[in-house]
Amino acid sequence: MTTYRSFIGGKWIDSTSGRTVPNVNPANRNDIIGTAQLCTRDEARSAVEAAYNAFKGWKNTPAPVRGRIVAKMARLMGEHKEELAQILTREEGKTIAESRGEVQRATNVVEFCAGESRRLTGETIPSELPANFAYTIKEPHGVVALITPWNFPVAIPAWKLAPALVAGNTVVFKPASNTPGTAVRLTELFIEAGIPEGVLNLVLGSGSEAGDEIVNHPAVRAISFTGSTETGLRLYEQIARRGIPFQAEMGGKNPVVVLEDCDMDLAVEHTAQGAFGSTGQRCTATSRAVVMDTIADKFVEKIVARAKSFTLGDGSDAANEIGPSVDESQFNTVLKYIDIGREDGATLLCGGKKAAGDGLENGYFVEPTVFDHVTPDMRIAREEIFGPVLSVLRVKDFDEAMTVANDCEYGLSSSVFSNDANDIYRFIDEIESGMTHVNSPTTGGEAHIPFGGIKSTGIGAREQGSTSLDFYTELKVVYVDYTGRKREGNLY
Ligand code: NAP
């Protein structure tokens, strides 16, 4: 059994807290993968101090040299793809195909950011004064805290670590408590890639203690968070008092809008993949299907058949298509929402309970679940469930579809199924989400394309792609006067 430790100031440390949490395989509770030592507040503080002490040296390291280390990290991730995918499946539960996809996406992002190290350019701006010019420089903030969730424990740390480091920041990385294995392995690979002492610090510990200590430490100059809206907004309040930059990607309640002229089989398949793939534990998962009344019976019949056709089981067996909920708490949350759906009067068409069968008894498996006749006021239409549960909302026309799709506090992703160009472009104009898809699932994204949401989903600069370094850099504006004379006239 592995012991997971924190990495602070270039050393793996044994925590003095004496507190540990087991890393449990959610497909089989009897498989205890390892034990994570939880940091004390003092140890979390020492991680910030180590990052603070390393900042000057890292900032003064030329960006392309920093980029070379990040490029080596991308190569190492490629070489260790299968190993990372196996760790990911065992501790988080997603299927091995999904894990391989996540590791590949993470590797692509790291590779992309390494290239950005040669493009940390500013602007030169002609002055309105003779013999003067102005230019801008991109500079790192200093120590940045990166707080990440369990559902993409390779990709999300990667898409924060790579741009933060390329930009010249030093990092305190606090992963979710239930995915320490992937966090430790990523850190080990960064060490192998040559990251200098103190530049990257990994803190294993609870959010309420170690996390709280990190985000409130005055030496932390920017915080990038991905997780629930509840935690993110709480952190935003605390951080606002200190006036430092905050970036947050939070919950989702992503709709598909299924119009009359769609390719029905395509709409059903992509809705099912979006709703039940990764056990519904993607921030971009499809959780609402807004369907035209005239085609709703057909849609519902087909989506139920598809939901029942998935094979559930341990994700390490490539034959299984859907893994478990990540832990007991998430499993209970999903079952609780299924009860709420029933109590609120939605029609349960399939699923709705713990999955039974060979190999499922010791895991947190929930049957893919479809509710019909869900109305916009019901909690299962409004709140993030984060499990394999789809709510079907029937509407009479396009206008009602848009009203229903937008009647939600979140705004991460969405998609439309239609073959009518006018309706598709109206949808793109009117949908309130940071990302939208046409005739494809609400899920997915590419390393070189910005990612993120609006409304209660996203705060601050977008992650990934052309915007990936925006959050991690400050702009310094420089005015150069080469007249050698006292300036005449008005100065503004
Ligand atoms: P969470 O409970 O909010 O936790 C996220 C991270 O915050 C964890 O590392 C957690 O540590 C830490 N944390 C909790 N309280 C803290 C505090 N007071 N100070 C500092 N850190 C604190 O979210 P989760 O359950 O891990 O992740 C699922 C959520 O993430 C879903 O809502 C999902 O939609 C969202 N998500 C959004 C995106 C996106 O791009 N929009 C992507 C992926 C996931 P502990 O684990 O120790 O509690």
Residue 410 Cβ contacting ligand 1 at under 6 Å: no
Mutating to test ligand 1, I would choose from 223, 283, 454, 459 the residue with most ligand atoms within 8 A of its C-beta, which is 283
Instruction: Supply the residue whose CA is at minimum distance from atom 22 of ligand 1.
Output: 207
Query: What amino acid is encoded at 62 in this protein?
Result: P
Residue 402 Cβ contacting ligand 1 at under 6 Å: no
pLDDT per residue as tens digits for the range 290-311: 999 999 999 999 999 999 999 9
For residue 90, the Cα-to-chain-centroid distance in whole angstroms is 19
Decide if 190 contacts 138 (C-beta within 8 A): no
pLDDT value, residue 487: 83
38: nearest Cα among 171, 175, 153:
175
pLDDT value, residue 61: 98
Decide if 378 contacts 396 (C-beta within 8 A): no
Mutating to test ligand 1, I would choose from 21, 172, 203, 228 the residue with most ligand atoms within 8 A of its C-beta, which is 228
Residue 434 Cβ contacting ligand 1 at under 6 Å: no
The angle subtended at Cα 161 by Cα 156 and Cα 165, nearest 5°, is: 160
284: nearest Cα among 300, 273, 268:
273
Instruction: Supply the residue whose CA is at minimum distance from atom 20 of ligand 1.
Output: 211
67: nearest Cα among 10, 110, 7:
110
Structure tokens at 133: 């010019």
Scanning 354-490, the segments in alpha helix (DSSP H) are 379-382, 398-406, 421-430
Helix (H) or strand (E) segment spanning residue 146:
strand 143-147
Which residues are CB-contacts of 359 (< 8 A; sequence separation ≥ 6)?
A: 313, 314
Residue 208 Cβ contacting ligand 1 at under 6 Å: yes
pLDDT value, residue 492: 62
pLDDT value, residue 488: 77
Decide if 303 contacts 390 (C-beta within 8 A): yes
Q: Give the neighbor-by-neighbor strand order of the sheet with 20-24.
A: 2-4, 32-37, 20-24
End-to-end CA distance of the chain: 67
Ranges of residues in the chain whose predicted pLDDT is under 70:
490-492
Is 262 among the catalytic positions?
A: no
Q: Give CA–CA dist 249/456, Å, rounded.
A: 9
Q: Give CA–CA dist 186/84, Å, rounded.
A: 8
Q: Give CA–CA dist 92/177, Å, rounded.
A: 11
Helix (H) or strand (E) segment spanning residue 67:
helix 63-79
pLDDT per residue as tens digits for the range 402-435: 999 999 999 999 999 999 999 999 999 999 999 9
86: nearest Cα among 106, 72, 103, 111:
103
| Angle (deg, nearest 10), helices 81-92 and 180-193 | 160
pLDDT value, residue 132: 94
Other Cβ atoms less than 10 A from the Cβ of 340: the count is 15
- Convert 112-133 to b/e letters by CB count within 10 Å (16 or more is b): bbbebbeebebeeeeeeeeeee
| Angle (deg, nearest 10), helices 421-430 and 398-406 | 30
Residue 333 Cβ contacting ligand 1 at under 6 Å: no
| 36 three-class SS | strand
| 25 three-class SS | coil
Structure tokens at 164: 């933060």
Global pTM value? 0.97
Q: Give CA–CA dist 355/298, Å, rounded.
A: 26
pLDDT value, residue 83: 98
Q: What is the DSSP letter of 34?
A: E
